[in-house]
Amino acid sequence: MSALRNIGGEIKTLPTAIDGFEHINRYWDPRNKVFAAKLLPGEYYVSTQGEMITTVLGSCISACIRDKVCGVGGMNHFMLPDQVDSANKTWECTKANAATRYGSYAMEHLVNDILKQGGRRENLEVKLFGGGHVLRISTNIGGNNAEFAESYVRMEGLYLAAIDVEGDLPRKVNYYPRTGRVFVRKLTPMHNDTIVRREETYMHSLEQAPAETEIDLF
């Protein structure tokens, strides 16, 4: 563990991250009086501690997933590559679609790591957020992200406990895996430019990188 000093001078000890998550930005949040992990596009985080996981979503989607019995859980932050098939506008999870393979990879990584930390698949609950219409492109990528996430949860037989997707405004999401509590705040348009630039950069990076297609499930 490493010691942190908050603004008031009180020493706070940052909980040890699970192996593989040391790169995630984690800090003491004095407003919420809790240690927080802040996610950027393409990242995910799993916690066994009483931490808060926070992110800001535009067109991207976050799945907040936890074992409601033991309290281990996490959040991801992803978007699908802009590869919708013009002849088939559906975003059902199919093995033939590279974009949905990427989305499945993002979801399965999160679920897999929760199970590795003692979670049980039958105890998982899912809450979905994001998928707003904020990017300056003609494709409804936010709606595609939301449709994919709902389809994935349904096809995997997971329990969908809450959903708040689409719309025209970005969202700030604070998630507490131990309790399952989520606080969502819609952001005003003045916040949009930073969010749009960040997600456009992420979207372009997805176009340059091949989608991961295989993962060893726990």
Examine residue 156 and state whether it is found in any structural domain, yes or no: yes
**Residue 10 belongs to some domain of the structure:** no
Residues annotated as catalytic (active site), given as ranges: 60
From the list 31, 34, 30, 32, the residue with the least C-alpha distance to 47 is 34
Name the helix (H) or strand (E) containing 31. Answer: none
For 154-202, what is each residue's pLDDT tens digit? 999 999 999 999 998 899 999 999 999 999 999 886 556 777 677 767 7
Q: Count structural domains, the chain.
A: 1
In a domain, 3, yes or no: no
Residue 194 lies in a domain: yes
The model's pLDDT over 70-114, given as tens digits with 9 standing for 90+, comes to 999 999 999 887 554 434 444 454 443 566 677 888 999 999 999
Query: What is the overall mean pLDDT for the chain?
Result: 83
Give the structural domain span for 190. 17-208
Does the residue 2 lie in any domain? Answer: no
Give the number of other CB atoms < 10 A from CB of residue 48.
Answer: 20
Q: Is 7 among the domain residues?
A: no
Q: Is residue 59 part of a domain?
A: yes
Provide the CATH number for the domain around residue 27: 3.30.1330.200
